[in-house]
Structures are given as structure tokens and as C-alpha cells.
Structure 1
């Protein structure tokens, strides 16, 4: 975790709350620099003669017991109090306390997008609505109003997408009863979309507009990954949204941008890549020129999906980006597990070195 993020967490912790929480004996008073806390016991030397003083607001302090001379800030005090465990344990403890006090990690703000594409989406309502309402369908799937806004989701109640076919005839597709998922290119321009049925009565769960580019030509949410050092690729739009939701809960992952591949492969060819990012491998190359260092694939927990992830990882490695694979529970995708499982899978990801790729092919953990 960066110094800035650690400082943000520590600033959220009130020392009096922390001492009460941990049942640490103290007396509140005033010192020359403001409110001061006098602690009975030093977490470093163990002296219990009320010789420890720390600032109630800053957490800065000292132990004056004998030759101890320990100095504290919030982090060092908490670490000493916990018995000097590994940094990861201290960090997890600090996050828990900060959350108890109402802290929430800042979420990445979506880049501005251009909705004027020269063609019209089916008439639909941007989510959340002007009065802050969301679809119950999305709420049931864990898609909050904040996530709906970030991904520019819309709801089409009863409308058509009109297009001209190859023979010049005007036709239409009915997108009523569907969540509209806009897809943007690297520049943030609307290029296509898909509609997810929410009624349960449609023959097709997903409907794709005719005469527009296939969604598999683009990386979903790649416009928000421009300048990012790390991305995590789910398969579909709702997998990508689930990854975003999970990473928003973990401050150490807030800079990892979730993207989607719309299938378990990457479109395009390395020997004929599109420098403008108009296919998926071209987009990866473009992201690399903008600072991308790491790519993690998080597809379904299945034998075939892992094999495909290793193949995709090989392609990613060839463009000079470090490639990893994150293993979810068997038979599950990011949208089917709790956020904690998504975070755990990412934290335990495996780098796709030549040796590891051979191991995963010979001993697929999902078999």
C-alpha cells in the first residue's frame, strides 16, 4: 500500500476510540500541544507507571519510562500494541478499525464519455434515475447506483434499435425489458452496446445490435484503464462490474482497473495489430504505451476457462506486459462469488511465467 493510502487510513482513526476498543487504560487531559492521552502501559517496554503520552488528534507520543524512550505515531503504536506482527496483519487491522469509524475507500471516477455516435441507442433511462433510483434487478445482483453510474448503465422499458440492413431496408430490434450496457472505445466514444434481459421471458439473455461492431472487438471499460499500471480482466460486463465492486472495498486494489473481454479469448493478431486499439490486442498494446505493466485474467473457475486464460496470457506476455491468472472457486465467475473471494483470488494470482504455464497445463486445478 502506498504511503498516501496508509496515511488516509490512519487519519480516519480516532485514538480515544482505538484505546477504548482495545481496552487500553488511559487518562484524557490537556498538553502543551492540545488534547493528550496518558497511557498506563507502554506497548514497547511494558512499563505500567503511566509514563506514556500521545496526542489525542495526531497519535504522536513518547514513553518516559526509564530508558525506554520509545516514540510513536499511530502506525507504530498500533503495531507495537499488536505485538509487532507482519505488516500485512497490521494493515488489515487498521482497515478494520477505520471501517468501523465510517471510512470507505475512495472510488475511481469514470472518465467522461461521448454518447453521440451518429446512431441512436434504443430509448432508455440512464441509471440511476434523476431522483437516485436503481433497478431492483441490479440491486439484487449487487450493482449499486454508484456502479450503474460508473458503467453508464441504462434501462430500456419498451423501445427499438433501428438500423439499415445491407440491402438498404430500415429494420429494428426490440430491446424492451433490458439493461442497456454501452461499450466505449479507448477514447471514450460510444461504439456499440448490448442488452441484458431482466424479465426472464426472453429467448436470448443478451441481445446485440445488428449493423454495429461486435462487442468482442473491444475491451470493456478500457477507456477507464488509460494510464493505469494494472488491469484485471473478467469475461462479461457483469463480471467486470463485480470485480470493480470488490476492488472498491479493498484500498490496496483501488488502482487496479477492471476490464472485460466479452469472451474467453482476445480478438486481433499480434503480427497485424491495430495501433489505434480497434481490436483487443491492439487495445492492450495501446494501454502498454500509456503505462500498463500488469494484466490479470479472472475468468470462470473451469478447466477450459483456465486453459483459455493461459493462452491469452501468452499473448499478453508477447506484447511486453506481465501476465497473471486469478483462480476463482470451481464453477464460479466473479459475479457469482462474494467480493471477498474476488479479492482473495486476485491476491493469490499466479504469474504466467513459462514454467507456471506448463504447470497449469499439466495439472489444471479444476480437473
Structure 2
């Protein structure tokens, strides 16, 4: 069965081209544990590794949060892609031609409006860039960029352009190419006239910075006014293509370096990103003229373990950095802050001191998040006064108390002790008191010490992983399914003798999918079978069964025992119901009914003891 328009052959080719250990290893540090590879789960916080990869089966499973699947599912989960997007990405990485987008393929058609809007944005970016580089209209904007230290090569690389003062340059350009102007308004390129008589360009008299999605397609623009025009920056409005809270400027270009280094640099503005890129910072990104969001932090945490916040060195920039730090810490990232001189921004620092000094003195020596918080706190207190110093030291104790490492806390306390000549013992007492208060207030949750995504985990099902001791019938069902997924003949015998009479709903569903899988002529292939499920819960159940219950001897006698155990449960439940009916009949004085029920109970008990056909 194909996934939408993607044929099975393409999915199989993608799976076979990517070893799951190698792919997962780019995101998770894996260590060998018998025939498995284990590591800390990238999808939830944990101290003890519960994330398992099986090279033999080419699947992963986490016993903590329940996520599981094959290499395609892993990329979809870790990168936030849909299944088709993950297939496309892995296919392109492996050099497999992407041919399944042809109209002849089965499945729903692509959204023509979205495709048309992206096409229009791509053309608009080319038009703006041409106007900047080749026309009299763009001369002042080009001079402005060159005065800011932007080379023509850098302007070309980032496709920077110019939107002229004319009211309808882009509108006429798009209309001449048969684009529907109302659709272009919905995409954020045009604005409707107030009198309803037509459309005008949204951006006029501005230097234009294209904004790309993760696939490198232009989906929006940021326009900077020349001179004193307001607002200074004008972004495209939210649209089906563009969501500010999830979009990061330059992420598509920076992503390879971010993944390689496992580190990202967050800037405030587009010019900071571009100038820093020219200085050698190729893992820099920026938010879309809005404050950082939790979604931004989560997106970045999928590609990086560390983040350096390089906001402007003025009060506003440092205040913004203070707000950003807890968001990244919540997302499980190590945070540091680049300290810029004299209230400058990165762009100004590079111009004033040169790219080498910027890299050496700023980017190579960021301060830790704790150190930055202490520096920021100092500026809010009058340290020359006793009361100001007292308040600062109390606030410093609260900051240090949040540090998980006792050794790190000791280092910061000794720094305060040396600088302000305060008693080290008293500092330790204050920090200890704060930590006790924090622990008392902290609700018991999943790994409080590593709670970056506990909020997300609170909603997960408690049954995502099997309990330590399962009832006999559940163990029988799981072991039987484990063999069935590896052996077609066993699956056929179970189909004939048991059918869908599994007691656990998910087990019955897996059996039904498995019968259909083999009926289509497939040979046993657990990775391929799991990819046909297209259901997170069933994928998780199948993976956990394969990982936990694969090593046991199996023969015809054991097959009989499993089926007998599975079919026993409904009889046991029926027996309990009969016993309840017997009690009610006796209480009501219905002797005849009580005798009849008692006879039925005896027959059921004999069956359960195997005195009749042990195969039922």
C-alpha cells in the first residue's frame, strides 16, 4: 500500500538506503548493548537510557515515551516533518529520484494555491534582486547596502533586493504572468485598495530580504525602510505559507553547519546574520522580527544541543537574552551568551573591530547562562550601598541555586566570596535554603532534574511501554505476534485458528494488518510492515513487541499453549459473570435458574482445566 502518492517501491528504496544506526547516531549518542544500541531519548528527558535502536530490524523504540518506528519515522519525528516530507528528504540525501509527485500517481493532489503562492514569492525575489542590482531605481538601496559593508557577492548569496516606490510594480508584474491577484494578497505580497478597485504592492521603497522555509523556498519577505521611514522593518503578514512563531531566518542555509557542530547562534536581525556569515559564522539564524517563542526553541533543539545568544549589547538586547535563556533551557539546550562591547550590535562590532576580532573576542568566548544572569542582575542593584549589595547577593544565591551541578555552584559562590569578601559558609547556607524551597515546591514529575519537556510528557499514555509484569494472556499475545511478524506460516496458522480474537485491541489490530500484509504477497519484513501501519500507537506497540519478545524458543507446542492462553480469558470472564448470576439467582430464590447456571459453571471450569478439547 502506498502512502498517499508515494509508491511502496520508493519507500522501500529510501529505507534500504539509510542505515538507522547511522541516521539516529547523528542526533543521539548510541552505545552498544548486546545486539541493541541504546542512548538517551531525543524526544523526552531522562537520566537512564530507554531509547533503543535495533540494527537487525532497522527500527527504534523508546520505552519511556513510546515513540518508535523505522528510519523514516525517526526523521519525521525529530525534524517535525510529515511522513511524505521525511521520505522526500531522505530520498534526496540518498540520490534517489523523487518521481512520485507526478499527477498520474494515486492520492490527493497538491494544493495548487500554495504552489502558486510559492512560485509568486520566488519570482518576486528575483524581480526585487534584479531591480536592486541593475536599475536606476535600486541605486540608492545598493549604495546603502555597500555602505553597510555588504559585498555584491553577499547580496547575491542572500538574494537581497529592492522594492521600488511605485505603487504597483509587483502587482503588474504578477498579473502579466497570469497570477490571480486576490490569491497574491492572501499570500502577503499585495494589499487590496481601500475602495476595492484593485491591488497595490505591500512593500514599497524598501530593501528586501527574502525569507525561506526549511526547503529553501521563498515564503515571505522582510523589508527595511531606507532613511527614516516607519516601520523600520515590515514583515510579510501571517499566511498559509508563513508563520512567524515557527519560522527562523537563514535556517535553511545554516542547518548543515548547525547539525555538524550541534550548535546554533541566535541573532536579533537579518543584517546581523548576514554580516556574521561573511565573518565565518555559518550557523547563525534570527527570529522574524518578533520575540523568541517556545516553538522556535523546540525546532532548534532538534538540530542543536547548544545555543549562543548574540543579541545587541544594549539594555534591550540583554533583557531579550534574559527572556530567551529559560526557553532554551526548557528545550534541553545548553545556553551561553556572547558579550558585545559598548552596547553595539553584531553588525556594528564586525565593522568596528573586523571579522577576526569578532570571532576571537566575542564568538569564541561566550559566558554561561548563569554568568550572564549574574552580570545582568548586577546592573539592577546599587552595589556601592549595603542594601543594594545585600539584595544582589540574595538574588545571586537564587540564580546559583538553580544550577544542577554542585561543582558549578561551588565555583560561582567562590567568585562572589572573593569579589565581595562575604562568608563562603553563609553563601552556601543561602543557596542551600533556596534549593530546599525549590525542591519542596516542585511537583513530582518525570525526571525533575531534567525537566525540559515534562509538560509535553505529562500527556503521554502511561501504557506506551509494557509494564514490568504482564498478565499471562498479554504475554502470550505479544510473543505470538512477535513470531507472526517474522514468520508467515505461523501467521497463517494463527489466522485459521484464532483470527482476530486477541484480547488487547491493539494486538487484534496488528494481527489484522499482518494478515493483510501477507495476503498482498509480501515476505516477512518487519521494517516494511511497520511502515504500512501509519498509526503512531500501533507502530509503538509493534516495535516494543519486536524488541522485547524476540528471543525465546518456539515450536508447535508453544503455539498451542499461546492460543490456549489467549482464548482462555473470554471463558474466564464468562465464568466470573456466571458466578455473579448464580449469586443473584440464589438470593432471589430461583432454584431452577440457579441449578442451570451451576451446571454451566461446571462445564466452563472443565474447559478451563483442559478436560475437553484443549484447543477449544
Give the TM bin, normalised by the shorter chain. 0.5 to 0.7
- The 1:128–1:183 alpha-carbon spacing in structure 2 relative to 1, beyond 3 Å, is same
Q: Report the equivalent of 1:117.
A: 118
2:286 paired with 1:260: yes
- Rg bigger for which structure? 2
Cα separation, 1, equivalents of 2:156 and 2:264: 20
Q: CA deviation at 1:220?
A: 0.7
Asked if 1:206 is matched to 2:222, the reply is no
Q: What residue number does 1:356 align with? A: 371
2:223 matched to 1:222?
Answer: no
1:140 to 139, 142, 147: 147
CA contact (8 A) 2:235 2:289 kept: no
Report the Cα offset of residue 188 of structure 1: 1.7
Structure that is richer in helix per residue: 2
Classify 1:140/1:323 alpha carbon distance in 2 versus 1 (closer, same or farther; 3 Å): same
Using the TM superposition, give the Cα deviation of residue 239 of structure 1 relative to its aligned residue in structure 2, in angstroms.
Answer: 1.4
Give how far 1:215 is off: 4.4
Structure 2 unpaired stretches of 5+: 1-114, 172-183, 383-616
Structure 1 residue 329 displacement after superposition = 1.7
How far has the Cα of 1:307 moved from its partner? 2.8
Q: In proportion to residue count, which structure has more strand?
A: 1
CA distance in 2 between counterparts of 1:201 and 1:304 reads 21
Structure-1 residue corresponding to 2:160: 153
Offset of residue 298 of structure 1: 0.8
Cα distance between partner residues in 1 of 2:367 and 2:336: 5
Contact 1:127 1:148 in 2 (8 A): no
Deviation of residue 366 (structure 1)?
Answer: 12
1:161-180 mapped onto 2 (5 Å cutoff) = 163-164=185-186, 171-180=199-208
Task: Confirm or deny that 1:313 pairs with 2:325.
Answer: yes
Note the C-alpha offset of 1:192: 1.0
Q: Give the secondary structure class of the aligned counterpart of 1:143.
A: coil
Give the structure 2 partner of residue 236 of structure 1: 269
Deviations 1:81-105 (A, max 9, x none): xxxxxxxxxxxxxxxxxxxxxxxxx
CA–CA distance in 2 between the matches of 1:328 and 1:115? 43
Q: CA deviation at 1:235?
A: 0.5
Taking the aligned partners of 2:309 and 2:317, their CA distance within structure 1 comes to 10
Among 328, 331, 340, the residue aligned to 2:343: 331
Q: How far off its partner does 1:258 sit?
A: 1.6
The answer to whether the 8 Å contact 2:161/2:208 transfers is yes
Q: CA deviation at 1:138?
A: 0.9
Partner SS, residue 249 of structure 2: coil
Residues 244 and 290 in structure 2, CA contact (< 8 A), matched pair in contact too? no
* Paired position in structure 2 for 1:245: 278
Shift of 1:350: 0.8
* Secondary structure, aligned partner of 2:252: helix
State the number of aligned residues. 229
State how far apart, in whole Å, the 2-side matches of 1:137 and 1:115 are: 33
Give distance in 1, aligned partners of 2:319 and 2:158.
29
Give TM-score scaled by structure 1 length: 0.53
Distance in 2, Cα, partners of 1:125 & 1:356: 43
CA shift, 1:211, in A, is 5.4
Q: CA deviation at 1:174?
A: 4.8
The 1:317/1:284 distance shift into structure 2, 3 A limit, reads same
Q: Is the 8 A contact 1:127 1:149 kept in 2?
A: no
Q: Deviations over 1:126-158 (max 9, x none)?
A: 488489x99221110011112112212122234
Deviations 1:184-229 (A, max 9, x none): 122222221111123x263433223345335454211011122322
